[in-house]
Amino acid sequence: MNKKSDTKTKCSCSSAVRAIQTNDSLSYEFSESVDRIFAGIDLFKENKAPSLILTGGKMPWSIGKPEGEYLRDVAIKYGVPRKNILLTENVQNTDQEAKSVKKILTIDAPKVILVTSAFHMPRAQKVFEKVGIRIIPFPVDFRNASSKLTFMHFMPSAKSIWETSFFVKEMIGRTYYNLKY
């Protein structure tokens, strides 16, 4: 029998779910960052960590339940026992997330497998380490794909504008945390 390590799996899952208003209720669907939760579930099932820590992320303009609550239900559905899932308080950014995870982990110098998108990993790793959490990075959700370069790659598109906006926001976040820490 494999013994699980004392390393916790932290799934940084904000932006993995979006709430959709349907008639009188809400339904939820996965976004592009869904790889985060399924990688965390896989790590748990492979006995790489004894538990999942999910972010109770909820932005002021969000509707519905915090993402972590929804993702906890998903993890349970995929075989992770409820007792092995920890949920942070509601947080709005990477800094609050790291501090909230640190509160949950009561041991000195805790170690987590940080599961987040590859583009976000450098910033997230820096922030988590600054609050005293040792990190084993586990990047997912790589935003590149193999394809032949064609004329269409040079055509303006809404997707390109969105990706540029996404990149600029991440660079602003990295700059902010580099100055802060």
Distance CA 12, CA 37 (A): 8
Per-residue pLDDT of 126-177, as tens digits, reads: 999 999 999 999 999 887 767 787 877 777 888 778 778 878 888 898 898 8
- Beta bridge partners, 19, equal 28
Instruction: Report how far residue 41's alpha carbon sits from residue 138's, in angstroms, rounded to the nearest whole number.
Output: 13
Give the tens place of pLDDT for each residue, 36-90: 899 999 999 999 988 999 988 776 666 677 888 889 999 999 999 999 999 998 8
Token duo for residue 96: 């609050």
Query: How much is the pTM?
Result: 0.76
* Complete domains list, the chain, with CATH: 8-145 (3.40.50.620)
Structure tokens at 45: 């099932």
Can you tell me the distance from the alpha carbon of 135 to that of 20, in angstroms, rounded to the nearest whole number? 34
